[in-house]
Chains A and B, each alone.
Chain A
Amino acid sequence: MSYLDKSALKVVGTRPVRPDGVEKVIGRANFGADMVMPGMLWGKVLRSPHAHARIRSINTARAAALPGVRAVITADDFPPIASEEAFVGEGPMNFRDLSYNCIARGKVLYDGHAVAAVAATSPAIAEEALDLIAVDYEVLPHVIDVEDAMKADAPVLHDDLFTQGVDPKPTKPSNIAKRIGFNKGDIATGWKEAEVTIERRYTTQPVHQGYIEPHACVVAVGADGQCTIWSSSQGQFMVRAYCAKLLGVDIANIRAMPAEIGGGFGGKTLIYLEPLAMALSRKSGRPVKIVMNREEVFRGTGPAAGSVIEVKLGAKKDGRLVAAELLLKYQAGAFPGSPVGPGCMCAFAMYDIPHVSIVGYDVVSNRPKVAAYRAPGAPNSSFGVESCMDELARQMNIDPLHLREINAAKDGTKAAHGPTWSNIGYLETVQAAQANAHLSHKLGSNQGRGVASGFWFNIGGESSAACHINEDGTATVVEGCPDIGGSRASMAMMAAEVLGIPYERVRPIVADTASVGFSFLTGGSRVTFATGMAVTQAAEKVVVELKKRAAMIWDISPDAVDWKDGKAYPAGPNAGSFEPLSLQEIALKAGRTGGPISAEVTINAQGAGAGWATHICDVEVDSETGRVKILRYTAIQDVGRAIHPSYVEGQIQGGVTQGIGWALNEEYIYDKDGRLENPGFLDYRVPVASDLPMIDAVMLEIPNPRHPFGAKGVGEVPIVPPMAAVANAIFDATGIRMRDLPMSPPKLRAALDAEAPPPRLAAE
C-alpha cells in the first residue's frame, strides 16, 4: 500500500512527544555506562604513549599479582585473524585490522592505541594495576600528515600494505592503501571546450564525531560460554558479529543488548571496548564493565578523515560546466579504509557535467583509525568543490545560486560515478533558496553571505520488525535499530497510521539480537526508510489478519472487509450489514478467532532516495580578532516525507551545527612526538549553544515513491554544505578566501593581515 497522499494522513507529519522522552529528560534512561551486575569487575585499558613503536615485550606479572586484580589481557588473549574485507556500516572494515585496532599486536600505531587491559574489583585498583604493566617499546619514526605519509621516504606503518589500484602492482609497501578513480566523458575534450577554468587546493582537518556519551559496555561470559553484552552502539547485531569474529565464538552464543545511545553520528558503527571486556570476562569468570573517559574517546576512537582536495573546474562563458577534475587524499588513520570512495562520488553529484575525472587516495598515518561520521567522505570533497564553485561564480560574475541552478543534476542526468538520477530534488533546493526570505535580508558592514550545496546517497538494507496486537487493542512495535534521532517515534507513527489507531496506543521498542530478526545497524540515514518500511509492512500484515478475524466474526469473505480508522467495516452493501468492529474488539476476541495477532517482517529494503541540500549562511567577521559569528543560517533539504517533522528539523540543525564546528574551530593538535595535545572538549572546540543562531530548517517534501510514506534519509546530508557555506560567507564579508580548515580566529586574523598590512602604530 502507499500512503503518499499527505492530505489523507492522520499521524504521519504530526509532532507527538517521543516515547523515550520522559526517561531521558529526568535522567533515568539507561545508557551504556548505567548497567551494573552483581559481582561485576571494572576494566581499564592501558594505552600507548607513542605514535609509532614496536612492542618488544609486555610484562603483566606485577599487575596480575595486585590484590583485587582478576584478569589482565593483551593481544595474546585474542586469536590471530586473517585479513578479511567486509563492507559494513558506512565504510569498509577489515576484521584483522579491527582486532589489531582494539588491541595492539606487535606494534602500536598511534598515541592512545590500546595495548593491554585489566579487570579488578574496583576502578581504583584497575587504574593502579595499569601502572604496574611494563611495556618495553622501541620507538619508531612516525608520520601524522597525509601528504607526508605519501612521501617515498615516509615511515611505513604496515610492511604488508601495497597500494591497490595502481598498475603495475608496487613492489614496495607504502602508506598509500589504495588509489581509486571515476571517469565520465573525456576530460581532455572537456578542457578543450572550457572557456573559463579555475584550479584550487583546499585542506580539511580530522574532526571527532563528538558524541556526548563515551563508549561503555558490560560483558558477561558464563561458565557455559554463553555471552551477554550490554553496550551503547549504533547496532547490536554489528556488536554481536564483530565480537564473535574477534573472539572466535559462534554468533548464536552471543546476545547483544542495545543500551540507549548518547550520540554516535557514525562513530559507534564499530567496536572498541566490547572484545576487551569479553576477553576479561572469559578469563575472570565475572561480568566486566569498561567505560572510556573523554580523553580515551579522543585518543582512541575514530575521527572523520582529514584531507587534501584539489579541484579544477571548466565552464563555458554562460556558466555551463563542461569539465571537472578532482584529486583527493584522505587520511585513513592507522589502518586502511578512509571514506575516499564516497568523497569521490559525492563531490560532483549535484551537477550535470559532461566530462569528469576523479582520483582518490586512501592513506594511512599514525592517527586513530577513522570512523564513519555523518555522510562520511562527502563533507571533505564538497568543501573543496563548493568553495571552488563559489570562486568560479565570483570570477565569472554569476550569482552563486544561479551557477548551481544552470548546472543542476535532474531526473535523467547521469552522475559521474555511474547512476542515472530519478526522483531527485536538488534543483528544487536551489530554487527554494533563491525564493527564501533570507536572501532579501540586508547585510551590514563586516557581514557576508555564502551558499553551498550537498549530496548524500542514503541507503536501505536489511531490517526486521514485528508488530504485536495486545489483548487490550494496543500495539507493540519491535525493531532492531538503535534509536539515535527519534526513530522509535517515527516507527510508532507509521504503525499507528497503518493500523488506524492513535500514536499513544503504539509502543515501540528496540530489541536485543535474540528478540528480533537481523537488522543492519543505524547508519546511512537508513532507519526511517528501511526499518520504517519493515514496520509498515508488519502493520499491514496485521491489518490483513484483523480483516480476516472480522470476516470470521461476521461470517463473510475477508475480501468483503474494509479497514478504516482502526475499525473493520463491511466493504459495501453486498457484504452485509454489520456494526463496525474496532481493533480493540477484535483483539479481545483473538483467542476465539485463531489466536494472537502479530506479524514479523524481514526485508532488504531497496530504493532509498538520495539526500540533497542547499544552505545559506550569513556571518559577521571581527577583523581585529578573526572571530566569525554565524548570524543567520537557512538549510533547505529534500526530505522526501517528514514522518516526524521535529526530528527531521533536529537532524538538519544537528548536522549544520557539527558542520559549523568543523568549519570554524575543530581540529586535532599533535605535538612533535605525535601525541594528541587537545584530548578534551576544552581545547577541542565543538560549538556551544550560544555560538549559534536558531538554524532555520526548510523541508522540501518530494516523496520517494519507493517508500510507503515517501521517506528519504535525512540525517547525513545536512553536514555536507556548511563548511563551504561558511567559507563563502567569510569571503563575501572580507574578500579573504579561506581554503584550509578550520577557519579559526588566529588563521583568519593572519590571513586578513597578510592581505592588508595594518597601519603602523602611532606610537612606533
Chain B
Amino acid sequence: MKKLWQVISLNFRLEFRERRSYFSILIYVLSTVYLANLVFMQSLSIESWNAFFWVIFLFAAVQAAFRSFSYEADQRFLLYYGMIAPEKLILGKIIYNFIYLSLLALITVLVFGFFMGFPIASPLAFITVLILASLGFSAILTLVAAIAAKAGNNPALPAILSIPLLYPQILTLSKLSLRGLSGFSWEVNSSLLIVLALLALVSLLLSYLLFPYLWRD
C-alpha cells in the first residue's frame, strides 16, 4: 500500500517537474475546442455537442496518458525493477492516470462548454459517465502507453493501438452521455451504466494481469 502511494506521488512530482507537459495538454484541448468552434460557427445540436466533446476528450486523453511511460521506458524501468512489484507499478500508474484524466475531463467540459454552451440536462449523470470513462480510459491507455514506449518511438503508435480498444467503451458511454444531455433516467440506464463499469473493470483486470509480462527484458 505504501509502495503504491509512492508510485502515485512520484508520478505527480516527476510530471510537475516537467510542467510544460500539463500546459501542452491544456493548449491541445484549447486549440481543438476552438477549432470545433471555428468550423461550426453556430450553436450545436446536442448530438453534435456529444460527438465533438468525446472525440476531443479521447484524443486529449491519448496524448496525456501516453506520457506516463514515454521517458522511462528503458533506464528507469531497470531502477524500478529492483524496487517494486510490477503489479504495484501498473496500479499506481493507472490511479495516477485516473486522477489526471478525471481532471482533464473536467477541464475539457469547462473549456468546451465555454465556447459551445452547456446543454447538460442531468449533470450528475454526465459526471458519473465522465468518471467511469476516465477509469476505463486510464486502464487501457496506461497499458498501451507501456506497449508503445517499449515498441520504440513510432509517434502514431499510441493512437493506433488504443483507439480501437476503446471503441466498446466509447460506443456505450457516448450513448449514455447523450441521454445525460437530454434527460436521464437512472432506472432505464442502469444496465448500460453497469456495462460501462464492467468494461472498465475488465480493462483494469487485463492491464493488471498482463503488465508483468511487458516490462521484464
Are both chains from one complex?
Answer: no
- Which A residues are within 8 Å of any B CB, using their own CB? none
- B residues near A (Cβ < 8 Å) are none
